[in-house]
Structure 1
């Protein structure tokens, strides 16, 4: 009886070992076929470079206010300027435009662009159904002249492609174009910036240009060097990502 019991135990152990070996081989095959596939991460934004050249003779441009948006506009011709645009147009202060309620993202130009100089900036635009880029700057040797781009559609601009524009000058219509001493914030005068009183036509229009002391305007602090014709800037927008 003792001999028979030992044989049964040996047989049972061999069978158990064989089953474990088969199970191990099966698990090894399953591990190879069940490796997860990692999905490529999707970009959350588009990236653009914006290159700007000041084409004027003697009109420094205030720090650019650049925004991306899917609705709204920085200005509308023949309509009153917003208080944010009025601040920029009279003093060069871009802070209110950069925080406009319709802006999806914003970019501060930070530095004045002297005549003949250029500036290159990088703009990150959130992914959205419709994407516009707008920008504005003040011609600082004026009462309230601005230039810029309004609602440039970059929704379908492919990576590696560029679009170029030349910009006009506009009159914000919030301050009379008197050109008198004390009314112009730029280096030609060093006068007053923003003033909440609107003493002009109160709508945005194309700017007629300046009438300087060299043109017979005896009260003007501007001279022939401060005249400007369109275009004011050359702007190139390139999608890099």
Structure 2
């Protein structure tokens, strides 16, 4: 009887040691791929400086603006005053965002700025779409923005590039008075040049395609804008190149 008990104890210890020493249940570490994209942004207008661009890479679930929908406060802040910090912070907090970056300064007409997006992503996410968005304000306006919104860059191989064009949108948060007190850009020099205001006084209150400015040249007495401040679509050229 004692021999049987002893053998049973030995078997139990062997099973316990086998269970403790096994690594069969451990999960392999995810393999990461490093991505580097160069985003070249060009201002295509004649006399509309663009505010520092907000550039980001993210998944399809993040929508920065949608025609027919009410602008978020973060978009309103950018559209009225050119401040991209809140929009970038909102994007950075989103679970699908891979990288965010701000341009260094105002992008004057005809000039190009390069912004680099760099991040790592697990290879297991290869089937998920990688998108790029770029948003900026036309600063000689009340609340006009230009944007490329959620364009796919997932198929780009190293050395390849793709080009997008950004149209102009009215954020629908501020009436288009074209008055020097309500426009932050250089055309309003001498006025208050107010940027963001919490008051939404545009009766539309939704993002729409921009119909363009009227200007003093067309008889709008309150306007500080001239014929050169008009624009045609597109207003922004964006070239995305995969470097790594």
Q: 5 Å matches for 1:36-47?
A: 43-47=32-36
Partner of 1:85: 75
CA offset digits 1:179-224 (Å, max 9, x no partner) = 0120000001141000011111111110000000001111101111
For residues 187 and 126 of structure 1, the distance between their equivalents in structure 2, rounded to whole angstroms, comes to: 40
**Which of the numbers 180, 203, 215 marks the counterpart of 2:218?**
215
Distance apart, 1:105 and its partner CA:
1.7
Partner of 1:95: 85
SS of the residue corresponding to residue 46 of structure 1 reads strand
SS of the residue corresponding to residue 78 of structure 2 reads helix
SS of the residue corresponding to residue 151 of structure 2 reads strand
Gaps of 5+ in 1: 1-40
Partner of 2:199: 197
CA offset digits 1:10-34 (Å, max 9, x no partner) = xxxxxxxxxxxxxxxxxxxxxxxxx
Q: Is residue 107 of structure 1 aligned with residue 101 of structure 2?
A: yes
Gaps of 5+ in 2: 1-29
Q: Is residue 135 of structure 1 aligned with residue 134 of structure 2?
A: yes
Given that 2:32 and 2:120 are in contact with CA atoms closer than 8 Å, whether structure 1 keeps it comes out as no
SS of the residue corresponding to residue 62 of structure 1 reads coil
Number of aligned residue pairs: 201
* TM-score when normalising by structure 1: 0.80
Larger Rg: 1
Given that 1:79 and 1:204 are in contact with CA atoms closer than 8 Å, whether structure 2 keeps it comes out as yes
SS of the residue corresponding to residue 99 of structure 1 reads helix
Partner of 2:116: 122
Q: 5 Å matches for 1:1-241?
A: 43-70=32-59, 71-100=61-90, 101-102=93-94, 103-127=97-121, 128=125, 129-190=128-189, 191-200=193-202, 201-241=204-244
Distance apart, 1:43 and its partner CA:
4.4
Distance apart, 1:112 and its partner CA:
0.7
RMSD: 1.4
Distance apart, 1:44 and its partner CA:
3.6
SS of the residue corresponding to residue 188 of structure 1 reads helix
Partner of 1:18: none
SS of the residue corresponding to residue 111 of structure 1 reads coil
For residues 133 and 166 of structure 1, the distance between their equivalents in structure 2, rounded to whole angstroms, comes to: 12
Distance apart, 1:42 and its partner CA:
5.0
